Amino acid sequence: MPFTPDQFFEVFAQYNRTFWLIALAWWLGSAGLMVAVWRKPVRISPALTIFLGALWAWNAVAYHGWLFTRINPAAWLFALLFAVQAVLLFLAARRPVAYFTATGARRILGFGLVSYALAYPFLTLALGRTYPATPTFGVPCPTDLLTIGALLTIRDRLPVSLAIVPVVWSLVGGSAAVLFNVPTDFVLLGAGGVLAAALIAQGRDRRSLAVGSATGT
Under the banding of pLDDT at 50, 70 and 90, the label for residue 77 is very high
Rounded to whole angstroms, how far apart are CA atoms 70 and 190?
29
Residues 149-178: what's their mean pLDDT? 94
pLDDT of residue 101: 96
> Omega into 140 within 30° of 0, i.e. cis?
no
Rounded to whole angstroms, the Cα distance separating 162 from 86 reads 9
Report the pLDDT value the prediction gives residue 214, as an integer from 0 to 100.
45
Q: Which amino acid is at 37?
A: V
Put simply, whether the predicted model's pTM sits higher than 0.85 gets the answer yes
Domain ranges, ordered by start, for the chain: 5-215
